[in-house]
Amino acid sequence: MLSHTAECADAFDRIAALIDAAQTIAICAHVNPDGDALGSGLALTQVIEAHWDGKEVVNLLAEDDVVPRIYQFLPGADRFVRSCAYDGCPDLFISVDLSIPSRLGDGEAVLNRSKKCAILDHHPCDDPVADAYLIRPDAAAAGVIITEFAQHLGVEVTADMAQNLYCAIATDTGRFQYQNADSEAFEVASFLVGCGASPSDVSLNVYQSFRLAFLHLESAVMGRITTFERGRIAYSYATQADLQRTGASLDESDGLVDVVRSVEGSEVALFLKEVPGGKVRGNLRSKTGRDISGVARALGGGGHRAASGFTIDGGIDDALSAALPLLHALFVEEEQSVDGRDAS
């Protein structure tokens, strides 16, 4: 049995009470969904259906898009519905892996039509707006929280639930290589493998099944990697023209920030990609204790200290002009702080 605090237990009870009182439930994660968003949302649906009979649960995609190819192997992935195509007014809306309504995309309209709202998330949020919520920034992934919710309810974790939740945790910890890969993440992952999750299947589908088109795109991105701030900041980008030339799809570029992150000596990585509508989506990663979430928030996004993202209007040059000075400022502030301590 995994352990959680009394505070978490109280929050789980409040969320369970909302589910108990609802007949129709919509579950939605953030735009540009990753393995945690998708796996946790699917697993939560499976947990609800296992614990409550007769609930009508729908998994929503925040954008007018499809499930990214590398996550289509997840059990239940075919049940996702685009928020823009869903006209229901659910009794309960559950945000998974996010706390900020603006990152729900088309799902925000569904949230506004819902009678009640709950949040299950691990992103920092100072002022959550919900009827009940559990936000644990110290959790490695939303999948950790959903696993603990299942155990709190006394739900037997099936192999399908476990596969979804293991994928959530494995991807949000970068295959257990990021700073958030703590003992709890390993404990929960071990529990899920014992319940039937297959780490090799997750690895095969997410990390070992790249199309040749993607590898050509990756090559272009690698060739553009640039560093500054004495090599401590590394960045690169992909354009719509790159996608057209290589035949790669937009969702395939999501993991390219890790290519930039791998540069020796770099402490912060930035990857930009052009997206439809004249916008650029940015992914930020920190390899040290430096907090890059403030940079993402300043650009209208959000996330964690070590992994954040944002979307801005304009092109690649606009995004670089906006993001690079903010990243540079992180190091200037640190150096000024060190100089101040030395002088004293």
- Res 7 pLDDT > 90: no
Using pLDDT thresholds of 50, 70 and 90, give the confidence band for residue 334.
low
For residue range 216-269, list pLDDT tens digits in order.
999 999 999 999 999 999 999 999 999 999 999 988 888 899 999 999 999 999
Using pLDDT thresholds of 50, 70 and 90, give the confidence band for residue 283.
very high
Low-confidence winner among 19-23, 143-147, 252-256 (lowest mean pLDDT): 252-256
Using pLDDT thresholds of 50, 70 and 90, give the confidence band for residue 306.
confident
- Res 332 pLDDT > 90: no
pLDDT at 3: 62
Q: Which residues contact 331 (CB under 8 A, 6 or more apart)?
A: 229, 232, 233
The percent of residues in the chain predicted with pLDDT above 90, rounded, is 84
Residue of higher predicted confidence among 301 and 114:
114
Q: Across all residues in the chain, what is the average pLDDT?
A: 93
Residue of higher predicted confidence among 232 and 102:
232
The percent of residues in the chain predicted with pLDDT above 70, rounded, is 96
- Res 89 pLDDT > 90: yes
Rounded distance, CA 91 to CA 113, Å? Answer: 9
Rounded distance, CA 327 to CA 274, Å? Answer: 20
pLDDT at 93: 98
Q: What is the mean pLDDT of residues 77-89?
A: 97
Residue of higher predicted confidence among 255 and 17:
17
pTM assigned to the model: 0.87
- If 0-12 CB within 10 Å is exposed, 13-18 middle and 19+ buried, where does residue 212 land? exposed
Q: What is the mean pLDDT of residues 70-83?
A: 97
Rounded distance, CA 92 to CA 22, Å? Answer: 6
